[in-house]
């Protein structure tokens, strides 16, 4: 395996270097061919590197950046004021060919705007989309996009999302002829928004896409599709609703029985706790903390957005996602597939 260099926005996210630097060291320990460029305030970053193993430090480089983009900054202001920020410097390293991908837990709107400005969308892509891979009921995984990069997605964009999602499912999840569905509010062809119906007609006519029709919100985790395409608003709503309900269940599960102090014998309580732990483990793969990192697809380069509140383990997962996307040549493969499908639909 060849060497691979990734740029990490070390200052982004709710916790900054105290999460990103230990996560970077964890990723370096698991991937011997990985080199990481940590972008941000050198003093702060170095303090978190002080006790690291020298074999890891040989594969770390600190790149100075003087500012951080605020998590609540307005998208319109961000671009103007971004020069010298850790997020922008990390993206510029990818543009300059010094890194093959960039990972940030910072402001989503800023990352989307700057990535589009600096890395440029692929030919045939109007706007990049945020994509993640969700575990489902059948022990497999579903690619879902867009998750909120575009609040208003027209039919062309939905078709582009479908193509990008299908490439992800084939190349990264290694699913042959992945099933592709559109998120809608009913199964019948006449349902939903005009943009979705128009996208459905194009996908149905595309032999390169294994299009299976509409699915509804209740099928998010059932594994009925390998790729679920949504406009950014609905995608964000369905993902967050799912995460909210999963967290609620896990918290109810953890707290169940705790109000009954004094009731029952000690061995009954111990047994109850043991059974609860087993159940929580069973639901563990659905826990939002176990997967992290949405990939900004459709750019001439790889950009991974980590959840702002990611912990060390979760941010390390985001770094690994970047590593995988680069190795699998996701942007190049999406570009090639776009050419094929869009050429055909132009002729139709």
Residues found near its own copies in the complex (CB under 8 A): 72, 74-75, 137, 148, 151-152, 183, 185-186, 188, 190, 192-193, 216-222, 232-234, 236-249, 252-253, 256-257, 268, 271-272, 275-276, 278-279, 282-283, 286
For residue 230, the minimal CB distance to its own copies (Å) is 8
Of 8 and 131, which has the nearer Cβ to its own copies? 131
> To the nearest whole angstrom, how small is the minimum distance from the Cβ of residue 10 to its own copies?
24
Minimal distance in Å, beta carbon 228 to its own copies?
11
Q: Shortest gap between Cβ of 112 and its own copies (angstroms)?
A: 13
Q: Of the two residues 57 and 268, which places its CB atom closer to its own copies in the complex?
A: 268
Main-chain phi, psi angles of 78, to 5 degrees = -60, -50
Please, which residue, 54 or 218, has the CB nearer to its own copies? 218
Nearer Cβ to its own copies (276/344): 276
Decide if 98 contacts 264 (C-beta within 8 A): no
* CB of 252 vs its own copies, minimal distance in Å: 6
Nearer Cβ to its own copies, position 47 or 241?
Answer: 241
φ and ψ of 173, to 5 deg? -90, -10
Kindly give, in sequence order, each residue whose CB lies less than 8 Å from that of residue 32, ignoring residues fewer than 6 positions away: none
Smallest distance from its own copies to CB 332, Å: 30
- Of 58 and 240, CB closest to its own copies: 240
Q: Which one, 42 or 217, has the nearer CB to its own copies? A: 217
Name the minimum Å distance from CB 42 to its own copies.
Answer: 31
Residue 87 Cβ, how far from its own copies at the closest point, in Å? 18
Of 51 and 261, which CB lies nearer to its own copies in the complex structure?
Answer: 261
């Amino acid at each position: 395996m060849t060497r691979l260099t990734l740029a990490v926005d070390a200052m982004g996210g709710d916790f900054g270097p105290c999460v990103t630097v230990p996560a970077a060291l964890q990723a370096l320990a698991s991937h011997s061919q990985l080199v990481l460029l940590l972008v941000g305030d050198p003093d702060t970053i170095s303090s978190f590197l002080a006790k690291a193993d020298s074999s890891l430090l040989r594969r770390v480089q600190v790149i100075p950046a003087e500012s951080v983009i605020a998590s609540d900054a307005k998208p319109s202001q961000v671009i103007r004021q971004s020069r010298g920020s850790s997020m922008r410097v990390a993206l510029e390293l990818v543009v300059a060919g010094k890194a093959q991908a960039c990972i940030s837990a910072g402001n989503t709107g800023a990352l989307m705007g700057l990535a589009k400005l600096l890395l440029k969308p692929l030919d045939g892509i109007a706007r990049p989309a945020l994509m993640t891979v969700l575990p489902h009921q059948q022990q497999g995984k579903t690619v879902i996009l867009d998750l909120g990069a575009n609040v208003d997605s027209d039919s062309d964009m939905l078709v582009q999302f479908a193509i990008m999602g299908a490439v992800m499912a084939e190349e990264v999840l290694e699913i042959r002829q992945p099933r592709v569905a559109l998120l809608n509010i009913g199964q019948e062809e006449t349902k939903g928004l005009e943009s979705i119906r128009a996208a459905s007609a194009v996908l149905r006519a595309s032999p390169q896409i294994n299009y299976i029709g509409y699915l509804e919100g209740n099928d998010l985790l059932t594994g009925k599709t390998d790729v679920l395409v949504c406009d950014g608003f609905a995608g964000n709503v369905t993902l967050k609703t799912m995460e909210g309900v999963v967290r609620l269940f896990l918290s109810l599960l953890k707290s169940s029985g705790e109000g009954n102090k004094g009731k029952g014998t000690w061995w009954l309580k111990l047994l109850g706790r043991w059974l609860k732990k087993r159940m929580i483990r069973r639901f563990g793969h659905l826990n939002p903390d176990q997967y992290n990192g949405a990939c900004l697809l459709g750019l001439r380069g790889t950009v991974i957005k980590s959840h702002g509140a990611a912990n060390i383990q979760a941010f390390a997962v985001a770094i690994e996602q970047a590593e995988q996307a680069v190795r699998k040549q996701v942007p190049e493969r999406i570009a090639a597939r776009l050419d094929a499908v869009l050429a055909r639909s132009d002729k139709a």
